[in-house]
Chains A and B, each alone.
Chain A
Amino acid sequence: MALEEYPPPHHVLSDLGIEVDAPDGSVTVARLPVTPHLYGGHGGVRLGVLATLVDVVGGAIGVEVLAPDWMATSDLAIHGLRPATGAVVEARGTVVRRGRTTLVVETTVSDGTDAPGPVAWATMTFAVLPASAAAGPRPRRTDRRALRGAGFDRPVSEAVGITTGEGVAPGHGGAVASLSVDDYVRNSFGAVQGGVVALLGETAAMRSLYLAGVSPELAPVDLQVTYVATARAGPVLATPRWSEVGARGSSTVVELADAGAGGRLTSVVSLRAERW
């Protein structure tokens, strides 16, 4: 899919209705209209959705800053600071460091309510892919963009193809969530979009903690995704590999593997859950 055509109208980023702008050249802003289908069970927009918004901001910055080179997301860490309850959430991203091989971006997310402080803060690292080693030089995209899709008629995790419970990958014992892969969730490289990976990781991690007996009152507050390889074929299976249940919060780590690519490890996601 050519960059100029990405994302197509029928795509998760289009259905999220994200608007991206770079008002003064030093900051990139993305706004997300909040609908009930973006909420989790803890009184605010899901952390995985905020991670998707952060990923879009980071990608927009990378496209602008790194042209004509390309980039791949290495990792994303987001810290929820309070529930996001406003009608619109806004992510503002800036460059921390542009090196020869990496780009580091930090993003602050606010929700426009009277509550003090941001709702989340995030950092992410991109690996720079030289144009000669990738798919040739890539043009800059400096235009303001408003993505308009049909929206969601069901919870966002269902809409992107995430399954939990009995429907998860029969024959793949241990997986607690899975993602079907099609063009609706692929990025311009043909791999699963980074924010969707975060959403799958969040879903799987919370499912894992639920199965471990953790109180459902615990909300995901920190999410960290390390991208090891691209997920292209699917289904992507999420399997817990580590967890700790504590009195004041619980943590878990899940691995995501591409079952359609021989079970190749694609990402490692760690999550911290606490009471708000």
Chain B
Amino acid sequence: MTGAGGADGTGGADGTGTGLPAGALPGRHVSEYFRLERWEVPPPEDAPGPSILRGRAPVEDHQRGPGGGLTLGGLLSVVDSLGGFACGLAVLPRWIVSSSLAVRMARLDHRGPLELEATVLRSGRASAVCEVAVRDRGAGGRDVASALVTCAALDPGDLPLRFARPVVVPMSPADPSAPGPEEFFHIDPGTGPVTRMQMEDRLRNPWGILHGGAVAALADVAAARAVAGVEGGAVASADTVLRYLAPARVGPVEARCRIVGARREGTVVRVAVHDLGAGGRPVALASVSVRNLGPRSAR
């Protein structure tokens, strides 16, 4: 199984919300950082099918990116967590890892809190596909993004999956001392086409591999740095397609960027992510559209 992302399957701050034992899932810290609240909406009795999963995440000031709203990496993290969780519930008693994330951004300057709704479009023995709509509650429910999460289903092995249904994961408390996303995700400072992330236990998902949201956060920062290093000026990562190729288990993890083309409104960047501690093994491939935030170019 090649998927390497993954819903973190958390039980909230202490694991009690889902019936999971506290501390059973070490990757929970990513969702806690973004304070993602989640709750399951079961289907009506006369229309059986997968549950809808809804979520809410405040956009803290220290989590905002150059576009004014939650960083792209942050948005992808919450999309991955919610969408992956919805897919996981749909394939029980199996569980999932994310195999791809695709997001089309409507607005980069959202206010928050964000409201999310994950709807499973298909679930089968081997995979599941989920659509995640993201709206800005602070701006009257305006659309922020439309995303698709594709997951591979697999045998959960020893992973504890004892859920109290419907699942409710409360919002974790605010942490005034929380760092910005680059520091939280242990992304090394730097500029240019190569960006590195240190592997920390809190960034691992329930399978013990690097959380899909952490890979997304790295791709976001790396693509923006690659474009800023060439063009200068203010830029922000936007539309993204991220494919998880293999698990990142060792680290550090390195994103290598190549600009494949520049358009009037932005730049398309190829981001290849490698696990340096595993012989440079490729773990993800992303295409990131980096938008110019300054005046229009004369291109």
- Tell me if A222 counts as interface (CB < 8 A to partner B): yes
Q: Tell me the complex Cα distance, A196–B134, Å.
A: 29
Whether the pair A244, B143 counts as a contact (CB closer than 8 A) is yes
Binds B, one of A20-28, A76-84, A172-180: A76-84
Which chain A residue lies CB-closest to B268?
Answer: A79
Whether the pair A224, B102 counts as a contact (CB closer than 8 A) is yes
- Tell me if B164 counts as interface (CB < 8 A to partner A): no
Given contacts A97-B245, A226-B129, A270-B104, contact A74 B150 (CB under 8 A): yes
Given contacts A242-B143, A244-B107, contact A96 B102 (CB under 8 A): no
- Over the window 21-52 of chain B, the binary record of Cβ atoms lying under 8 Å from chain A Cβ atoms (1 yes, 0 no) is 00000000000000000000000000000000
Which chain A residue lies CB-closest to B143?
Answer: A244
Expressed in whole angstroms, the minimum distance between the Cβ of A134 and any Cβ of chain B is: 13
Main secondary structure of the interface of B (DSSP, over half): strand
- Over the window 87-112 of chain A, the binary record of Cβ atoms lying under 8 Å from chain B Cβ atoms (1 yes, 0 no) is 00000000011011110101010000
Binds B, one of A11-19, A118-126, A181-189: A118-126
Binds A, one of B10-18, B64-72, B189-197, B281-289: B281-289
Interface size class of A (residues with CB under 8 A): 35 or more
Candidates A117, A123, A251, A265; contact of B241 at CB < 8 Å: A123
Q: Tell me the complex Cα distance, A127–B152, Å.
A: 10
Count of interface residues, chain B, beta-carbon cutoff 8 Å = 40
Whether the pair A121, B282 counts as a contact (CB closer than 8 A) is no
Whether the pair B126, A104 counts as a contact (CB closer than 8 A) is no
- Over the window 239-276 of chain A, the binary record of Cβ atoms lying under 8 Å from chain B Cβ atoms (1 yes, 0 no) is 00010101011010100000000000100101010111
Whether the pair B287, A79 counts as a contact (CB closer than 8 A) is yes
Main secondary structure of the interface of A (DSSP, over half): strand
Expressed in whole angstroms, the minimum distance between the Cβ of A91 and any Cβ of chain B is: 14
| Residues of chain A lying within 8 A (CB to CB) of residue B287 | 77, 79, 121, 123
Expressed in whole angstroms, the minimum distance between the Cβ of A30 and any Cβ of chain B is: 19
Expressed in whole angstroms, the minimum distance between the Cβ of A244 and any Cβ of chain B is: 4
- Tell me if A202 counts as interface (CB < 8 A to partner B): no
Whether the pair B285, A226 counts as a contact (CB closer than 8 A) is no
Which chain B residues numbered 210 to 238 have a C-beta less than 8 Å away from chain A? none
Whether the pair B263, A274 counts as a contact (CB closer than 8 A) is yes
| Residues of chain A lying within 8 A (CB to CB) of residue B261 | 79, 81-82, 117-118, 121
Expressed in whole angstroms, the minimum distance between the Cβ of A126 and any Cβ of chain B is: 11
Q: Tell me the complex Cα distance, A204–B148, Å.
A: 19
Q: Tell me the complex Cα distance, A97–B284, Å.
A: 10
Given contacts A228-B121, A274-B263, contact A97 B104 (CB under 8 A): no
| Residues of chain B lying within 8 A (CB to CB) of residue A81 | 260-263, 268
Q: Tell me the complex Cα distance, A72–B296, Å.
A: 41
- Tell me if B198 counts as interface (CB < 8 A to partner A): no
Whether the pair A121, B2 counts as a contact (CB closer than 8 A) is no
Which chain A residue lies CB-closest to B144?
Answer: A244
Candidates B106, B107, B282, B289; contact of A97 at CB < 8 Å: B282
- Tell me if B246 counts as interface (CB < 8 A to partner A): yes
Interface residues of A (CB under 8 A from B): 74-75, 77, 79, 81-82, 96-97, 99-102, 104, 106, 108, 117-118, 121, 123, 125, 127, 221-222, 224, 226, 228-229, 242, 244, 246, 248-249, 251, 253, 265, 268, 270, 272, 274-276
Q: List 12 A-B contacts (CB under 8 A).
A: A81-B261, A96-B243, A96-B285, A100-B2, A102-B2, A117-B261, A118-B261, A121-B270, A244-B143, A249-B265, A270-B148, A272-B239
Nearest 5 Cβ contacts at the A-B interface: A81-B261, A99-B2, A244-B106, A97-B245, A77-B241
Excluding A101-B2, A224-B104, A274-B263, 10 further A-B contacts by CB distance (< 8 Å) are A79-B268, A82-B263, A99-B246, A101-B126, A102-B152, A224-B102, A226-B148, A228-B121, A249-B265, A251-B146
Interface residues of B (CB under 8 A from A): 1-2, 99-100, 102, 104-107, 121-122, 126-127, 129, 131, 133, 143, 146, 148, 150, 152, 239, 241, 243, 245-246, 260-265, 268, 270, 282, 285, 287, 289, 291, 296
